[in-house]
Amino acid sequence: MTRIYSGPLSMFGAKVEIAAREKGVPFELVMVPFIEGDHYEPKHPEVLRVNPVKQQVPVLVDDEVSLFDSTQIFEYLEDRYPSPALWPRGIAERARARQLEQKSDEVFFPNVIKLFGLQEAMQSAPAIAACAGCARFYEEMEGLLATREYLAGPYSFADIAFYMACIFADRKGAGMTDATPRLLAWRTRVGDRPAVRAVVEPMMRFLASQGRGVPAFLQR
């Protein structure tokens, strides 16, 4: 049985869980301990075994492989469970989709990470710059959606990654607005998928149980 180690507020773990659900992979979800200050402590022994230097979730373990990093795990899931495909078919389309998935994590999301530490200083120059970085990225995605329903054409890992990043951006004060109507419609389309709801709803319940804000668009 495949095991996915994640955390109750891990956006990277949620990416992996959504992908596994989309592909119908039978898996056991192990939620690692989570403490105040949003740290995952004490580290789970399997996380330490598989990811000893970074000590981060998500981690995936099955009979054959043990992996860390959500993007690496996406690649494994696609190879191991090719259907339904979550990368487009053509080589060029796949390359573009992979780049989008990586940009979501490494171009868009770093703005959100900056905002984590600036919640009491949202009018400061670095917070304004981070929000502007998010807004620029939303505009770029809005442009892509002029000709397609999903970021890379068919629904893909790129949508999963960016949807989760958008939830955290919204929580931290850099949510999308009416300036990007196609992106708002995309968010509804992705958020309505059963695999996405199955992962996001418990995460929002966890936030609510802690008295923490749930993005307005997820308050069903």
Q: Which residues bind ligand GSH (CB under 6 A)?
A: 7, 10-12, 39-40, 56-58, 69-71, 105
Q: Which is nearer to ligand GSH, 30 or 142 (CB)?
A: 30
Q: At its nearest, how many Å lie between ligand GSH and the CB of residue 208? A: 19
Q: At its nearest, how many Å lie between ligand GSH and the CB of residue 109? A: 9
Q: Which residue is nearest to ligand GSH (CB)?
A: 56
Q: Which is nearer to ligand GSH, 62 or 69 (CB)?
A: 69
3-state secondary structure the chain: CEEEEECCCCHHHHHHHHHHHHCCCCEEEEECCCECCCECCCCCHHHHHHCCCCCCCCEEECCCCEEECHHHHHHHHHHHCCCCCCCCCCHHHHHHHHHHHHHHHHHHHHHHHHHHCCCCCCCCHHHHHHHHHHHHHHHHHHHHCCCCCECCECCCHHHHHHHHHHHHHHHCCCCCCCCCHHHHHHHHHHHCCHHHHHHHHHHHHHHHHCCCCCCHHHCC
Q: Which is nearer to ligand GSH, 22 or 101 (CB)?
A: 101
Q: At its nearest, how many Å lie between ligand GSH and the CB of residue 180? A: 25
Q: At its nearest, how many Å lie between ligand GSH and the CB of residue 143? A: 25
Q: At its nearest, how many Å lie between ligand GSH and the CB of residue 56? A: 3
Q: Which is nearer to ligand GSH, 15 or 184 (CB)?
A: 15
